[in-house]
């Protein structure tokens, strides 16, 4: 009976995996084909891989875009996690009705579509440009700043902190740790899996972010991967072989981050830490 | 405890918000693009093989010393960036020269009155195809430098049509009704579909009505003109007849559209001339294509010439505008030689009339069986009826697309267009 | 500012100080923890949001805006396009979010099993759709759901239908296609939150339950779901927000068509701002409809979950 259940699980997961992964495999295959073959729905590997990659790295500035995207994504992930977890922890551990109310107000900020605040935000950065040029329009900093402080991650960490054993905080105080010490020495290591999940999401959001970088970054030297891909599909005769190659390369970093981080999702780890 | 922290937290929030609001407001005035003349001019355009290449060519041929930075962005991205920048009043980061699609131009010109720099002192509008002038000017001022034409042609497979018993003669100077008749015949004799259409895209409707000098709005560019619009009625009827004729290969996006003719599944592609390179991408079909005049609507005043797409250059009203306007004027605005090179090197067809006398325009296109394609297109270009696209093409088209669905599903044409009219009037106050 | 704070806080301050000075100190430190976040959100979100709110009372083309009072809000009720977008979006929400949440929970429980082989691969496979670029994903979806696409061939081979279905041009099927696309793309994303939260559930609870003879299903409903409640609440709220703001899938797969059959509120905002002659005032009004909807739905979800007790 149990064995049967196991086999059913594997079959189910395999079907789900195939359905999920199919488009990615198609992209991998398309990367090796000519544009004409791709639009006609060819599903077999071709011989055009080298040509597609050559165009991508020589005619299009893929390297710059990769470097920019990496800088933005790494800094964003780090700061997002730090600021978000500090606040999520603060709201839950030092809970007061006042903070609860502020928390609820903060949640409002994730409810408006970004398109609606984009123009005022752009004007704000126009103002910043005039006084602090290195944070202004057309700087990587401008692409990063509004994305590192989000109600989303504060909310995420707060909900996860609810599952965190409060006794640990008290134990830390008895051991004479400072409040910040408790956060860094006890909370942070204990919540490793939450950080892992947040890191995946933050990295992915930043890596795929389109609309804000699009309007705030103007020069080609500052462009990111999604901007480059959008541009590749722009002409009257887009080259789908090159586009697919770019997309495969663009997908890999997030997939790698996910693969590394998901290793922390090992059942039963918490039990041992708590014990 | 409760009382205390609630009060304190509110004060804090207010304090912070006040500070930021003040900071932001005070910085508003310092924003904007005022400043001295920049030594570098920037230009935004979208197709590396086409308008970007044209700008590069212009830069090369320009005799004066200019630092021109050409930036490639997707067309939709340009529209977003431009709208965001212009509406926020923050001109920092905006380009000096920007390419805008003709059917969008009036929106930009009217929505941002002082954002563009008139070019009357730099170019002579009469040098350009007449149909380009209405969309690129406003209140008697010429803002756009007309660039490429979207002159349409009926691209067709000579081999399929021959098999069905038709020649170039039979396709020239025809109406859409005749086209549908031929289509049925081709399908019956060759088994090939006549055309590939995306049921969500009314581009062909626009091609049809412009051939009769009509549009979704009246000549003033704002009065919605759907109900009792004879041309639009005929276009809808033709569209429905095609959909019901069983010779339409449906597509749902651009790549499927391209695939439809690259794979040899359809016999004709009625389209703007810019589809040429996509057809030529399939090398194995060399010599099997030709281009006839686009069919016309069966009504008084309709001609076998129309337009699909096309765009023009605009200069933003920011420092560097004189330099930018001068650059455009001396290349795209007045150089016959430049247009010869443009045709030869880039394959782009401009709308500058004097250029058509040049030799390059007489070249024969091998892929299209030696047809003098450029020459034919530039001849047809001058016949395109001039219409004012106005500002609401895309908004009205979304309304029409919904009504088209209803019409195809059995709603009467009069009702469909009357409902579209009412909805458009309500929405476009 | 400092003075005002002393004044308003003076009376309770002295009372509290005597009784709970330790708590107060912690309270200050609590403020330190949230300070950067609060300041940043005020600057980068609330300041623009206030501007957007002001905009929602204005109307006009591009930069030519003028105050029109509540006209924009009144216009909403007689705007058939907006009503279509609202209806579609609510359909997506009601059908799609519950399906996705349940599916994601289910996957995460299956994939949390330490004895499962190729666990990492299965997790990555199910996560992959949400990192796949929309450009590619849209092209593929259109092929799969085309009239002679793979999905139709499959359905015909299995004799589920005899005629090919018009997935993208039939109003109802097009909505279904969008729902399938959203679920396909975002299930793996929600799975991450559950997978990570499951690590924080004490394993000994399951062992105790097993000894008591609880079935897998009972364990799921009596241990997993209650323990994950904060995270389930989190994911259902972010999925609600995500679905109410759904844009990418629709823009890339159906572009709102056929007619307005798949148009979403966010897509309409985009059209009003960038596709048509821009009316940022009315676009802001429509945006605030989303805010109001999310606030209402979130309140209901917080209530149902009993989160703040």
Q: For residue C261, tell me if it sits in a domain.
A: yes
- Interface size between B and C, measured as CB pairs under 8 A: 130
Question: In angstroms, what separates the C-alpha of B81 from chain A's closest C-alpha?
Answer: 5
The answer to whether C288 contacts chain A (CB < 8 Å) is: yes
Local structure of C67: helix, strand or coil:
strand
Question: In angstroms, what separates the C-alpha of A158 from chain C's closest C-alpha?
Answer: 9
Examine the pLDDT at B308 and tell me if it is beyond 50: yes
What subunits touch chain C, counting only 3 or more CB pairs under 8 A? Answer: A, B
Nearest CA in chain A to B274: A236
pLDDT of residue C52: 93
Q: Name the nearest CA neighbour of C278 among A118, A45, B191.
A: A118
CA-CA distance, B370 to B158, in Å (whole number)? 13
- Interface size between A and B, measured as CB pairs under 8 A: 130
Under CATH, what is the fold of the domain B152-305+392-427? D-Maltodextrin-Binding Protein; domain 2 (3.40.190)
What phi and psi, each to the nearest 5 degrees, are found at residue A98? -65, -45
Q: For residue C18, tell me if it sits in a domain.
A: no
Residues of chain B contacting residue C39, judged by C-beta atoms under 8 Å apart: 16, 20
pLDDT of residue B22: 44
The 10s digit of each residue's pLDDT in C74-90 is 999 988 899 999 999 99
Question: In angstroms, what separates the C-alpha of C170 from chain B's closest C-alpha?
Answer: 9
Examine the pLDDT at B2 and tell me if it is beyond 60: no
What subunits touch chain A, counting only 3 or more CB pairs under 8 A? Answer: B, C
Residue C260 or residue C90, greater confidence: C90
Burial of A211 (C-beta count, 10 Å sphere; 0-12/13-18/19+): middle
Domain tally, chain C? 1
- Ranges of residues in chain A whose predicted pLDDT is under 50: 268-275
Examine the pLDDT at C62 and tell me if it is beyond 90: no
The whole-angstrom distance between residue A144's C-alpha and the CA centroid of its chain comes to 12
> Where do the structural domains in chain A lie, given as residue ranges?
61-232
Sign of the alpha-carbon torsion through A28, A33, A37, A43: negative
Q: For the complex shown, is ipTM > 0.85? A: yes
The answer to whether C277 contacts chain B (CB < 8 Å) is: yes
Which among C46, C257, C274 is the nearest to B200, CB-wise? Answer: C257
Which among A102, A124, A237 is the nearest to B277, CB-wise? Answer: A237
Residues of chain A contacting residue B90, judged by C-beta atoms under 8 Å apart: 122-123, 125-126, 129, 137
Q: Name the nearest CA neighbour of B142 among B313, B330, B340, B282.
A: B313
Examine the pLDDT at B305 and tell me if it is beyond 60: yes
Residues of chain B contacting residue C50, judged by C-beta atoms under 8 Å apart: 21
> Considering only residues 53 to 92 of chain C, which have any Cβ-Cβ distance to chain A shorter than 8 Å?
none
Question: In angstroms, what separates the C-alpha of A149 from chain B's closest C-alpha?
Answer: 16
Burial of A247 (C-beta count, 10 Å sphere; 0-12/13-18/19+): buried
Examine the pLDDT at C1 and tell me if it is beyond 80: no
For residue C214, the enclosing domain spans 79-305
The 10s digit of each residue's pLDDT in C192-227 is 999 988 887 777 888 888 888 888 888 888 888 888
**Average pLDDT in the B293-320 region?**
94
* CA–CA distances in Å: residue A131 to residues A137, B38, C167: 11, 19, 53
Examine the pLDDT at B201 and tell me if it is beyond 90: no
CA-CA distance, B32 to A127, in Å (whole number)? 8
Q: What is the 3-state secondary structure (H, E, C) of chain B?
A: CHHHHHHHHHHHHHHHHHHHHHHHHHHHHHCCCCCCCCCEEEEEECCCCCHHHHHHHHHHHCCCCCEEEEEECCHHHHHHHHHHHHHHCCCCCCCCEEEEEHHHHHHHHHHCCCCECCCCCCCCHHHECHHHHHHHEECCEECEEECECCEEEEEEEHHHHHHCCCCHHHHCCCEHHHHHHHHHHHHHHHCCECEEECCCCCHHHHHHHHHCCCCCECCCCCCECCCCCHHHHHHHHHHHHHHHCCCEEECCCHHHHHHHHHCCCECEEEEEHHHHHHHHCCHHHCCCEEEECCCECCCCCCCCCCECCCEEEEEECCCCHHHHHHHHHHCCCCCHHHHHHHHHHHCCCECEHHHHHCHHHHCCECCCCCECHHHHHHHHHCCCCCCCCCCCHHHHHHHHHHHHHHHHCCCCHHHHHHHHHHHHHHHCC
**Average pLDDT in the B325-339 region?**
92
C42/B17 touch (CB, cutoff 8 Å), yes or no: yes
- Using only C-alpha atoms, what is the Rg of chain A? 23
The answer to whether C62 contacts chain B (CB < 8 Å) is: yes
Q: For residue C117, tell me if it sits in a domain.
A: yes
CA-CA distance, A47 to A30, in Å (whole number)? 10
The answer to whether C164 contacts chain B (CB < 8 Å) is: no
Residues of chain C contacting residue B392, judged by C-beta atoms under 8 Å apart: 276-277
Which among B47, B281, B282 is the nearest to A234, CB-wise? Answer: B47
Model confidence band, residue C24 (pLDDT cutoffs 50, 70, 90): low
**CB contact at 8 A, A211 and A114:** yes
Nearest CA in chain B to A139: B93
Q: Name the nearest CA neighbour of B97 among B66, B121, B70.
A: B70
Q: Any idea which architecture A61-232 has in CATH? A: Orthogonal Bundle (1.10)
Q: For the domain that residue C270 is a member of, what is the CATH number?
A: 1.10.3720.10
Q: Which of A30, A117, A205, A239 to mutate to test the interface with C (most CBs of C within 10 A)?
A: A117
Q: Which of C27, C35, C44 to mutate to test the interface with A (most CBs of A within 10 A)?
A: C44
> Where do the structural domains in chain B lie, given as residue ranges?
40-149+308-365, 152-305+392-427
- Interface size between A and C, measured as CB pairs under 8 A: 268
Which among A9, A17, A208 is the nearest to C126, CB-wise? Answer: A17
Question: In angstroms, what separates the C-alpha of B230 from chain A's closest C-alpha?
Answer: 32
Whether omega before C258 lies within 30 degrees of 0, making that bond cis, reads yes
Q: Which two tokens stand for residue A164?
A: 């965190």
Q: Which of A23, A158, A181 to mutate to test the interface with C (most CBs of C within 10 A)?
A: A23
> Considering only residues 86 to 125 of chain A, which have any Cβ-Cβ distance to chain C shorter than 8 Å?
86-87, 89-91, 93-94, 96, 99-100, 102, 106-113, 115-121, 123-124
C33/A90 touch (CB, cutoff 8 Å), yes or no: yes
Least confident window among A230-244, B128-142, B322-336? A230-244
Local structure of C238: helix, strand or coil:
helix
Q: What is the mean pLDDT of chain B?
A: 88
The 10s digit of each residue's pLDDT in B17-72 is 555 544 444 444 333 344 567 788 999 998 888 899 999 999 999 888 889 999 98
pLDDT of residue B11: 52
Please indicate whether the domains covering B40-149+308-365 and B152-305+392-427 agree at the CATH topology level. Answer: yes
Least confident window among B106-110, B199-203, B385-389, C84-88? B199-203
The answer to whether C147 contacts chain A (CB < 8 Å) is: no
Residue C59 is inside which H or E element, if any? strand C58-59
Q: For residue C48, tell me if it sits in a domain.
A: no
CA-CA distance, C259 to B200, in Å (whole number)? 7
C260/B402 touch (CB, cutoff 8 Å), yes or no: yes
C275/B394 touch (CB, cutoff 8 Å), yes or no: yes
Q: Which of A22, A144, A159 to mutate to test the interface with C (most CBs of C within 10 A)?
A: A159
For the ranges B295-309, C145-159, C292-306, the one whose mean pLDDT is highest: B295-309
Question: In angstroms, what separates the C-alpha of C222 from chain A's closest C-alpha?
Answer: 16
CA-CA distance, B28 to B87, in Å (whole number)? 13
B24/C47 touch (CB, cutoff 8 Å), yes or no: yes
Residues of chain A contacting residue B23, judged by C-beta atoms under 8 Å apart: 127
The answer to whether C213 contacts chain B (CB < 8 Å) is: no
Question: In angstroms, what separates the C-alpha of C47 from chain B's closest C-alpha?
Answer: 7
The answer to whether C152 contacts chain A (CB < 8 Å) is: no
**CB contact at 8 A, C177 and C152:** no
Residue B98 or residue C119, greater confidence: B98
A101/B9 touch (CB, cutoff 8 Å), yes or no: yes
Residues of chain C contacting residue B14, judged by C-beta atoms under 8 Å apart: none
The 10s digit of each residue's pLDDT in B264-290 is 999 999 999 989 888 988 889 999 999
pLDDT of residue B16: 53
Name the one residue in this structure whose structure tokens are 């009382």. B3
pLDDT of residue C39: 94
pLDDT of residue B17: 52
Q: For residue C230, tell me if it sits in a domain.
A: yes
Question: In angstroms, what separates the C-alpha of B193 from chain C's closest C-alpha?
Answer: 15
Q: Which of B15, B193, B253, B317 to mutate to test the interface with C (most CBs of C within 10 A)?
A: B253
CA-CA distance, C101 to C187, in Å (whole number)? 7
Q: Which of C133, C153, C210 to mutate to test the interface with A (most CBs of A within 10 A)?
A: C133
Q: At what angle do helices A192-208 and A225-232 cross, to 10 degrees?
A: 40
Q: Which of C275, C282, C283, C284 to mutate to test the interface with B (most CBs of B within 10 A)?
A: C275
Q: What class has domain B40-149+308-365? A: alpha beta
Examine the pLDDT at B255 and tell me if it is beyond 90: no
Residues of chain C contacting residue B399, judged by C-beta atoms under 8 Å apart: 81
Q: For residue C71, tell me if it sits in a domain.
A: no
The answer to whether C80 contacts chain B (CB < 8 Å) is: yes
A235/B49 touch (CB, cutoff 8 Å), yes or no: yes
């Amino acid at each position: 009976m149990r064995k049967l259940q196991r086999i059913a699980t594997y079959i189910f997961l395999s079907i789900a995996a195939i359905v999920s992964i199919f488009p990615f495999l198609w992209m991998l295959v398309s990367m090796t084909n000519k544009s004409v073959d791709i639009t006609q729905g060819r599903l077999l590997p071709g011989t055009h891989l080298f040509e597609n990659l050559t165009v991508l790295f020589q005619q299009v500035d893929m390297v710059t875009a990769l470097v920019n995207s990496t800088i933005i994504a790494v800094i964003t992930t780090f700061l997002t996690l730090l600021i978000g977890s500090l606040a999520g922890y603060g709201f839950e551990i030092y809970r007061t009705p006042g903070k609860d109310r502020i928390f609820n107000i903060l949640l409002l900020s994730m409810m408006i579509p970004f398109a609606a605040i984009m123009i005022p935000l752009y004007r704000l950065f126009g103002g910043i440009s005039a006084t602090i040029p290195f944070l202004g329009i057309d700087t990587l900093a401008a692409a990063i700043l509004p994305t590192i402080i989000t109600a989303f991650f504060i909310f995420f960490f707060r909900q996860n902190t609810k599952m965190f054993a409060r006794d640990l905080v008290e134990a830390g105080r008895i051991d004479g740790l400072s409040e910040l010490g408790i956060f860094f020495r006890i909370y942070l290591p204990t919540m490793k899996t939450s950080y892992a999940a947040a890191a995946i999401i933050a990295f992915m959001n930043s890596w795929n972010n389109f609309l804000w970088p699009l309007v705030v970054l103007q020069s080609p030297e500052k462009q990111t991967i999604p901007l480059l891909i959008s541009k590749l599909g722009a002409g009257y005769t887009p080259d789908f072989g090159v586009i697919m190659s770019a997309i495969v390369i663009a997908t890999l970093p997030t997939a790698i981050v996910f693969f590394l981080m998901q290793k922390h999702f090992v059942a039963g780890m918490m039990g041992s830490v708590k014990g | 405890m409760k009382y205390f922290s609630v009060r304190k937290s509110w004060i804090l929030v207010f304090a912070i918000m006040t500070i930021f609001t003040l900071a932001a407001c005070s910085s508003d005035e310092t924003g904007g693009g005022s400043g001295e003349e920049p030594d570098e001019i920037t230009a935004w355009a979208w197709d590396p093989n086409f308008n970007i290449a044209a700008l590069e060519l212009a830069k090369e041929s320009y005799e004066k010393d200019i630092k021109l930075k050409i930036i490639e962005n997707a067309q939709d991205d340009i529209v977003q960036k431009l709208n965001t920048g212009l509406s926020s009043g923050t001109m920092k980061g905006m380009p000096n020269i920007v390419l805008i699609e003709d059917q969008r131009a009036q929106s930009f010109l009217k929505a941002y009155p002082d954002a563009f720099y008139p070019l009357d002192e730099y170019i002579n509008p009469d040098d350009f195809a007449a149909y380009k002038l209405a969309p690129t000017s406003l209140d008697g001022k010429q803002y756009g430098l007309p660039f490429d034409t979207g002159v349409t042609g009926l691209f067709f497979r000579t081999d399929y049509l021959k098999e069905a018993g038709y020649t170039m003669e039979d396709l020239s100077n025809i109406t859409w009704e005749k086209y549908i008749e031929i289509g049925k015949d081709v399908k019956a004799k060759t088994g090939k579909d006549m055309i590939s259409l995306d049921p969500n895209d009314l581009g062909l409707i626009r091609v049809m009505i412009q051939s009769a000098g009509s549009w979704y709005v009246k000549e003033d560019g704002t009065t919605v003109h759907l109900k009792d619009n004879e041309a639009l009625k005929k276009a809808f009827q033709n569209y429905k007849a095609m959909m019901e004729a069983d010779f339409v290969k449906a597509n749902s996006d651009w790549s499927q559209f391209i695939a439809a003719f690259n794979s040899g599944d359809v016999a004709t592609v009625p389209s703007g001339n810019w589809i040429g390179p996509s057809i030529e991408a399939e090398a194995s079909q060399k010599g099997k294509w030709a281009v006839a005049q686009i069919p016309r609507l069966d009504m008084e005043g309709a001609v076998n010439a129309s337009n699909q797409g096309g765009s023009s250059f605009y200069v933003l009203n920011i420092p560097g505008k004189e330099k930018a306007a001068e650059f455009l004027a001396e290349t795209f605005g007045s150089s016959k030689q430049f247009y010869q090179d443009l045709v030869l090197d880039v394959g782009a067809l401009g709308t500058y009339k004097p250029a058509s006398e040049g030799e390059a325009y007489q070249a024969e296109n091998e892929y299209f069986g030696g047809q003098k394609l450029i020459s034919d297109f530039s001849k047809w270009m001058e016949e395109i009826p001039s219409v004012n696209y106005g500002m609401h093409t895309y908004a009205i088209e979304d309304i029409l697309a919904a009504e088209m669905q209803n019409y195809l599903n059995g709603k009467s044409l009069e009702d469909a267009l009357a409902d579209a009219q009412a909805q458009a009037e309500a929405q476009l106050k | 500012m400092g003075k005002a704070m002393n004044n308003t806080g003076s009376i309770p301050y002295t009372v509290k100080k005597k009784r709970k000075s330790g708590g107060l100190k912690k309270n200050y430190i609590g403020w330190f923890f949230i300070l950067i976040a609060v300041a940043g959100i005020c600057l980068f979100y609330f300041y623009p949001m206030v501007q957007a709110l002001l905009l929602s009372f204005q109307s006009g083309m591009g930069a030519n805006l003028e105050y029109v009072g509540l006209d924009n809000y009144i216009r909403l009720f007689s705007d058939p396009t907006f009503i279509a977008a609202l209806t579609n979006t609510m359909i997506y929400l009601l059908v799609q979010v519950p399906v996705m949440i349940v599916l994601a929970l289910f996957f995460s429980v299956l994939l949390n099993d330490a004895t499962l082989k190729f666990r990492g691969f299965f997790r990555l496979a199910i996560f992959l759709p949400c990192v796949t670029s929309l450009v590619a994903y849209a092209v593929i979806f259109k092929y799969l759901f085309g009239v002679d696409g793979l999905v139709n061939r499959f359905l015909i081979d299995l004799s589920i239908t005899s005629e090919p279905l018009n997935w993208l041009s039939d109003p109802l099927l097009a909505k279904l296609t969008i729902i399938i696309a959203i679920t396909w793309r975002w299930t793996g994303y929600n799975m991450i939150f559950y997978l990570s939260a499951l690590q924080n559930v004490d394993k000994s609870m399951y062992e105790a339950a097993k000894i008591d003879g609880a079935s897998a299903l009972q364990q799921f409903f009596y241990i997993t779901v209650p323990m994950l409640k904060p995270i389930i609440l989190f994911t259902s709220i972010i999925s609600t927000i995500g679905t109410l703001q759904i844009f990418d899938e629709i823009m890339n797969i159906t572009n709102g068509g056929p007619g307005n059959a798949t148009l979403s509120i966010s897509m309409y905002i985009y059209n009003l701002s960038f596709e048509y002659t821009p009316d940022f005032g009315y676009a802001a009004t429509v945006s605030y409809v989303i805010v109001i909807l999310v606030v209402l739905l979130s309140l209901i979800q917080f209530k149902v979950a009993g989160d703040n007790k």
